[in-house]
Each structure stands twice: as structure tokens, then as C-alpha cells.
Amino acid sequence: MATFLIDYFELPTASTASSREFFARAFGFAARDYGPGYTEIVGAGVLGGLNGIEGDRPAAPLIGIRTDDIDAAVLAVTGAGGTITRPVHAYPGGRRFMFREPGGAELLVYRPEE
């Protein structure tokens, strides 16, 4: 049986450098870059990222649900009435997809690389 855990957030940003600097100065969070346009926020108590990748940047902050079985997650989401808004795709660190739950919120499910 697949496991699911809310443990991630992703913030859209027009400038990863500016956002990274803000979170470091305001809260003391460290950062780890994963290529141009994406920075992980380190030390915030929960996994997080700053997404400035043109064409991939979310429209609003996203909540992420980690799973150990991405295919089972797709079936669970669609079986419960959710709508896939972006199919399973690779990202730096694993695979993920985005979906909208029946109330309208968009979330993502991800499976990190092992």
C-alpha cells in the first residue's frame, strides 16, 4: 500500500536570487540550488522550494504530498474525484504530478529519487 505525507511546499518566484536572499536575511534559512530557476529552502522545518522556472512556475504556493508510489498516487487522486492538471514528470530530485481536488485547490504529489 502506498504511503502519503504532506511535507513540502513550493513558492512561485520571479527571482530565485531575491527570494533566497530574503528568506536567508529574514529567517536565517539556508538554500541549495538545483539548476537555474529552482532553489531548495533548507532549515525551515519542512521541505520547501522556490520555483522561478519560466513555464514550470506555479501560479500560487503549492502544498506537496510525498509518496513512495507515484502510480498508486495518480490512481488514488483520480479515483477520489481529483483532476490531474500536470501529468507525472521528472524534476530535479524525482518525479511528480499536479492535481486539483474537487474544492479547487491545486496540489502536487512527488516521489523523491532513492
Domains and CATH numbers, the chain: 7-53+70-112 (3.10.180.10)
- Which pTM was predicted? 0.84
Per-residue pLDDT of 25-58, as tens digits, reads 999 999 999 888 999 999 999 999 999 998 888 8
The pLDDT of 57-83, averaged and rounded, is 95
Assign residue 68 a region (left: φ > 0; alpha: ψ between -120 and 50; beta: otherwise). Answer: alpha
